[in-house]
């Protein structure tokens, strides 16, 4: 049984004296948690999708592979993983300001960004505000303006997310999530099934799943989704920033305009690769994603060298 791999015990609050992963970075009066891997002069930031239980552990398998070529910084935004919660408005500008300040406080002023899902929405604004800092943007099935207008479902995306959040909250109260976690943790946490997490990491994931996955910060963020979509409506990535996008074949089948919506956020012709799999391509297709990214950046570097001759 898969659940037997995990160190199952009763739900409890995280003890501050317990060893935790990553590094704390002060952002205003709060702390964000980050993970830094690799020693390359090329820096790559990883930003998670909404409601990620633990961005650092979720993206760890991908980050490890990318750290052979980059200094990889996985950031847990406020409200995620082991980062602090906040009551500050979860508008696009506030979120971008917090994330950028975290990177600034770490001392990085040139970097690539890799974003999954909702973080891509914020990166449209990030790349416009800090155009000279961003060397390139990589999107993994990112959220885009116009997605609320698709005929996928008569219920708005933000409402669906809130329903899922409250369902998770109820399941926690009555103990269903604890049972599901014991039977098969992959049923309720998005993780790479082939990756061998340590017992300590599994323990942290269990605790976060059963205690920290539902909070007011995440709920406030999804309550702002419609406003945040409107905020970036008609906006595009700056022409000076190269963009490389991966789209899920599942979403392309479900939403007929999925690829078209991702083309609309581009000023110039930038690669859009459709990979077989679900919304969580970084878990299902990490080897392919790493190979594509490395080739793309090598081609960019070659182009820069040719232009400088």
Which tokens go with 179? 């049972």
Over the stretch 193-239, which tens digit does the pLDDT of each residue have? Answer: 889 988 888 888 878 877 656 788 988 998 898 899 999 998 999 99
**Going by C-beta distance under 8 Å and a sequence separation of 6 or more, which residues neighbour residue 17?**
none
Over the stretch 250-303, which tens digit does the pLDDT of each residue have? Answer: 999 988 899 999 999 999 889 999 999 999 999 999 999 999 999 999 999 887
Which tokens go with 229? 């979509």
Whole-angstrom distance, CA of residue 222 vs CA of residue 219: 5
**Going by C-beta distance under 8 Å and a sequence separation of 6 or more, which residues neighbour residue 121?**
92, 142, 143, 144, 145, 228, 229, 232
Q: Which of 88, 84, 34 is nearest to 63 (CA)?
A: 34
273 φ, ψ (degrees, to nearest 5): -110, 125
Over the stretch 66-124, which tens digit does the pLDDT of each residue have? Answer: 999 999 999 999 999 999 999 999 999 999 999 999 999 999 999 999 999 999 999 99
Higher-confidence residue of 269 and 140: namely: 140
**C-alpha 70, offset from chain centre:** 18
Quote the pLDDT of residue 165.
61
Over the stretch 8-61, which tens digit does the pLDDT of each residue have? Answer: 344 444 454 455 899 999 999 999 999 999 999 999 999 999 889 899 999 999
């Amino acid at each position: 049984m898969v659940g037997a791999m995990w160190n199952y015990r009763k739900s409890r609050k995280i003890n501050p004296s317990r060893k935790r992963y990553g590094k704390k970075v002060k952002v205003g009066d709060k702390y964000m948690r980050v993970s830094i891997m690799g020693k390359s002069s090329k820096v790559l930031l990883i930003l998670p999708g909404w409601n990620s239980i633990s961005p650092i552990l979720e993206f760890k398998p991908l980050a490890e592979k990318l750290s052979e070529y980059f200094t990889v910084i996985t950031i847990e935004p406020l409200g995620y993983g082991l980062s602090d919660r906040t009551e500050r408005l979860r508008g696009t500008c506030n979120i971008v300001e917090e994330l950028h300040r975290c990177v600034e406080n770490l001392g990085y002023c040139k970097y690539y960004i890799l974003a999954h899902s909702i973080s891509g929405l914020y990166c449209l604004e990030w790349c416009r505000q800090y155009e000279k800092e961003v060397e390139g943007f990589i999107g993994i099935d990112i959220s885009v303006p116009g997605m609320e207008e698709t005929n996928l479902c008569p219920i708005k995306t933000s409402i669906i997310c809130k329903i899922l959040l409250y369902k998770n909250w109820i399941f926690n109260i009555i103990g269903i999530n604890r049972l599901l976690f014991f039977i098969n943790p992959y049923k309720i946490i998005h993780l790479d099934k082939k990756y061998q997490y340590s017992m300590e990491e599994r323990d942290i994931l269990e605790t976060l799943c059963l205690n920290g996955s539902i909070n007011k910060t995440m709920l406030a963020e999804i309550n702002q989704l419609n406003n945040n979509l409107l905020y970036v409506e008609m906006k595009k990535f700056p022409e000076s920033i190269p963009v490389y996008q991966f789209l899920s074949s599942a979403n392309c089948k479900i939403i007929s305009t999925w690829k078209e919506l991702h083309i609309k956020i581009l000023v110039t012709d930038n690669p859009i690769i459709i990979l077989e799999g679900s919304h969580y391509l970084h878990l299902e297709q990490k080897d392919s994603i790493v190979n594509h990214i490395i080739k793309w950046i090598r081609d960019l570097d070659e182009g820069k060298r040719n232009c400088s001759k």
